Every structure is written in C-alpha cells, then in structure tokens.
Amino acid sequence: MSWRLLLDSPADGATNMAIDTAILEAVAAGDAPPTLRLYGWAPPCLSIGALQSVERTLFAPGLPGRDWVRRPTGGRALLHDRELTYAVVAREDDPFVVGGIGPAYRRIAAALAAGLTQISVAGLAVAPTGRRTPRPSGPACYDTASPYELTAGGRKLVGSAQVRRSGALLQHGSIPLSLDRRALAERLAVADREALVAALTREATALDEVLQPPPTWQALCAAIVDAFRAVVGALTPAALTPGERERVAALTAFYRSEGWNYRR
C-alpha cells in the first residue's frame, strides 16, 4: 500500500497530538493509508509521557495544551522548540513495522539514520551501544538514550515513543536542530537544575552541535522523506481526510482539557 506524506506547518501542542491521534484512529480503522507526518511546534511546548505525574514532572505547568501537553505515548518530558518532529503511523501488519515493538523501532531508527547520514551527520549509532545504561528516575527524556534511539558521537540525538491501539501503531519523536537544556531544566520539578543541565550536556546533543553549518528545517525534512521513501516505496504527499479533520477538532479539545493533562 502506498504511504501518505503529511508536511505540516507548526502547531500548538494540543493540535499536534490531536492530529497524530486522529491519524492513528483512521489508519487502525482502515480509513487512511500508512502515514509519515513531519511537523513543528508553535509556540514552544513541553510534552510529558502518558504515564508521568504532573506533580513530579513539572515545576511551572502553565496552560495545558499550549505551554505543555500530555502525549498519548510513553517516555519522559521534553521541550519542543527548534526541531523536526516525525510521526509514523501504520497497521501492525504493515511490512515496514511488522514483527513487534523492537523490530518496528529498529526499522524506523534505521530510516531516520539514513536521512541524517544523507545530510552528513557522523558517528550515528542505535542505542544501546555495547552496554545498557540503566534508565534514571528523573523526568527529562534527553538525559539518556533508550534502546533503538539514535545517538551521535555517543550522545542522544533522536528521542522517540510509541503507542499501539486497535492493531495500529503511532511512533513519534524529536530531531532537535538545537537544544536549550536550561529552558527544559527550568520547566521541570527537579531538586538540582544545574545537575540536570550538566547531565543533558553530557548525554544529549542536537544537529547544531554535530554539524556545521547545521541543516535548515527544510533540508532535514527533505532528507528524512528521501530515506523513508527508499524503504516504504511510494510516499505520496497528501492531506488529512475529511474524517480525520473532524476528529482533530474534537481531539484538540481533549488534549487541552485538564481531565487528560492532569490525569496523573
């Protein structure tokens, strides 16, 4: 089946999560083809994992759905600002993601790595490399790399998270063009922000730190599209279906609601 390509303008946190979820529902129901969506965030927004506690994660939450949003996927908190965010949505029996969680993560990571290699990012590897680092209990996503996430020069470059519903999966993740570690640390409920900034400096990186000059958003987007097209075959630019657009309106309200965002 031909894959659909969605290239979206930046949107707020609630809208972005609503669009990803609407696509997941439509693909699961057979109403939309497998989809690669590439997008950005405006204004900058912190997202937290579906299972994270707001009280233990956020220092100053702000407005739900705009300043921060709870993702439908797991993982920990990250600040979305100057980055390319990708979302892969497909049925679990699609050849690109078939075989369970591990193989799906691995194939998606390989496609992302191919795109980053195309723009000359060096030292790429899929975590863990050689040894498995225990996951810390802190709230920040980028202070360690999980299995099948991409590192550059030994530091985490791409963070990803996945959810599966009704026979389909959504995996989305962040490829930072730059990384404001202090801005993230100031948003989180941590006892020692300087220690977190130091950990993020040691363990995480961004494209402007590994590639000079750094790529533009458009160049990075084109490289990722080329890499996915090479592995999924046809990847056709398109738009949301009418049914998806209708669901986005309802889901945006859901992702702005206190009931969802403060559920833990």
Please tell me the pTM assigned to this model.
0.93
Tell me, yes or no, if 45 is annotated catalytic.
no
Give the per-residue pLDDT at 126.
87
> How does residue 145 score in pLDDT terms, banded at 50, 70 and 90?
low
What distance in Å separates the CA atoms of residue 160 and residue 41, rounded to the nearest whole number? 16
What distance in Å separates the CA atoms of residue 124 and residue 105, rounded to the nearest whole number? 16
Q: pLDDT tens digit string along 160-180?
A: 999 999 999 999 999 999 999
Give the per-residue pLDDT at 138.
62
| Mean pLDDT score, 16-33 | 98
Give the per-residue pLDDT at 130.
42
Whether residue 147 is preceded by a cis peptide bond, meaning omega within 30 degrees of 0, is no
**Percent of the chain's residues with pLDDT above 90:** 88
Give the per-residue pLDDT at 146.
61
| Mean pLDDT score, 69-74 | 96
In the chain, alpha helices (H)? 13-29, 54-57, 101-118, 181-187, 193-203, 207-210, 217-232, 242-256, 258-261
Report whether pLDDT(65) > 80. Answer: yes
Give the per-residue pLDDT at 1.
74
| Mean pLDDT score, 192-212 | 95
> How does residue 36 score in pLDDT terms, banded at 50, 70 and 90?
very high
What mean pLDDT is reported for the chain? 92
Report whether pLDDT(129) > 80. Answer: no
Is 208 buried (19+), middle (13-18) or exposed (0-12) by CB count in 10 A? Answer: middle
Domains in the chain, please, with CATH? 3-261 (3.30.930.10)
Nearest alpha-carbon partner for 150 in 183, 178, 101, 117:
117
Report whether pLDDT(182) > 70. Answer: yes
| Mean pLDDT score, 84-109 | 96
> How does residue 60 score in pLDDT terms, banded at 50, 70 and 90?
confident
Give the per-residue pLDDT at 148.
78
Report whether pLDDT(233) > 60. Answer: yes
Give the per-residue pLDDT at 137.
53
Per the residue annotation, which of 141, 200, 225, 232 is the catalytic one?
A: 141
Residue pair 80/172 in contact by the 8 Å Cβ criterion = no
